[in-house]
Amino acid sequence: YKRYDEESDDFKSVVREVDPNFQSWGLDETSINLLPQILLNRAKRGASLDVLYNLPEFLEEGSNIVADIRAKIKAKTSLTASGGIAVSRSIAKIMSNRNKPNGQFTNVISKWNPTQASECVVGHI
């Protein structure tokens, strides 16, 4: 199990770069709050921060972040990772199973309350 623990530590170190407070669901599964990174990325580009009121754009930003995390995991560990992006942890987990192995899926919903933004968008890797 030592080697598996080492790979898990490498995997989690990549995730920690985006969300230091990620939730771990074992040695190789995490849920992360993508909102802070989305807002940081947009601020750096001088983009509007009102993305909270435009769900497709918000989810696209989250999808790009998860794709980047997955690429970094592959580069650091040589392991593939699947990802799911949604407005809740449970849906993100389900979405992460949609395009296994080594894929990702974004759940696009038609209705969303932007006042829930502190709980959304979630990535599951």
Contact 12, 98 (CB under 8 A): no
Q: Centre a 10 Å sphere on the Cβ of residue 47 and count the other Cβ atoms it contains.
A: 13
| Helix and strand counts by DSSP (H, E) for the chain | 4, 5
DSSP structural state of residue 22: P
- Which has the closest alpha carbon to 34: 51, 10, 48, 11? 51
* Separation CA 70–CA 81 (nearest Å): 6
**Mind listing the pLDDT tens digit of every residue in the chain (125 residues)?**
788 888 889 999 999 998 999 888 888 888 888 888 988 998 898 887 776 667 778 888 889 999 999 999 999 999 899 998 888 888 888 888 998 888 999 887 755 666 655 555 667 66
Whole-model pTM over 0.75:
yes
